């Protein structure tokens, strides 16, 4: 059975936003991909801001679920941390797309307030997960875990941004490896 229109819109909007940003999202192209008319999107989402916020919210929820899945599969916190870059790598694998949080951070000035809130929440989810696992490893003390979590999140987002601009996933892998060698990420 196929997706409901609302779910199809959300999925297409997410893909578009990861490739072109919130500003690059447009209802006519979106509608064409879903197989309806642009005006029909307004039945499901009252405005572009609402659609953007819904996309960002879903993106955060999906990411949170994936992080929880990693933690469920992988008992060792060091191994969990080792797997963290997967999240960003998969966006590159999926059509050289960017993390939605990164793209929207670049566009931050021009985002509706309700979208900004979701972007912050996305970053918070990532940093909390990282901080929690860093503490669990004992590699850094609890006081430093939060600080290190922010640094890791920012650095990996930067690595993805650079790899995307070169359309080169192996560059992403090499950057992550460099972070490990340098000591930013646990080896």
Q: Residue 161 interacts with a second copy (CB under 8 A)?
A: yes
Token pair 């999240």 in the structure block, residue:
87
List all residues 6 or more positions away from 148 whose beta carbon is below 8 Å from its beta carbon: 130, 131, 134, 140
Token pair 């197989």 in the structure block, residue:
35
x/- binding map, residues 50-69, to a second copy, per CB under 8 A?
Answer: --------------------
Q: Residue 150 interacts with a second copy (CB under 8 A)?
A: yes
Token pair 């080169």 in the structure block, residue:
168
Residue 186 DSSP symbol: -
In the complex, minimum distance from the CB of residue 35 to DNA, in angstroms, rounded to a whole number: 7
x/- binding map, residues 22-51, to DNA, per CB under 7 A?
Answer: ---xxxxx-x----xxxxxxxxx-xxxx--
Q: Which is nearer to DNA, 46 or 158 (CB)?
A: 46
CA-to-CA distance for 115 and 40, rounded, in angstroms? 22
Start-to-end Cα distance in the chain: 44
Q: Which residues bind a second copy (CB under 8 A)?
A: 19-21, 23-24, 96, 98, 102-110, 119-120, 123, 147-148, 150-151, 153-159, 161-162, 164-166, 171, 174-175, 178-179, 182-184
């Amino acid at each position: 059975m196929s997706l409901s229109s609302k779910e199809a819109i959300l999925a297409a909007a997410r893909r578009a936003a990861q490739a072109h940003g919130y500003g690059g999202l447009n209802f006519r192209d979106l509608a064409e991909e879903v197989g309806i008319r642009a005006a029909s999107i307004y039945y499901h989402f009252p405005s572009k801001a609402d659609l953007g916020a819904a996309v960002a919210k879903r993106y955060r929820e999906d990411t949170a679920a994936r992080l929880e899945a990693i933690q469920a599969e992988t008992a060792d916190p060091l191994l969990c941390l080792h797997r963290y870059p997967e999240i960003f790598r998969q966006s590159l694998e999926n059509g050289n797309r960017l993390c939605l949080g990164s793209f929207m951070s670049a566009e931050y000035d021009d985002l509706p307030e309700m979208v900004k809130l979701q972007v912050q929440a996305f970053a918070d989810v990532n940093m909390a997960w990282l901080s929690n696992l860093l503490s669990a490893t004992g590699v850094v003390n609890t006081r430093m875990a939060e600080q290190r979590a922010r640094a890791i999140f920012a650095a990996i987002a930067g690595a993805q941004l650079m790899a995307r601009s070169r359309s080169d996933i192996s560059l992403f892998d090499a950057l992550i490896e460099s972070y490990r060698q340098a000591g930013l990420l646990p080896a």
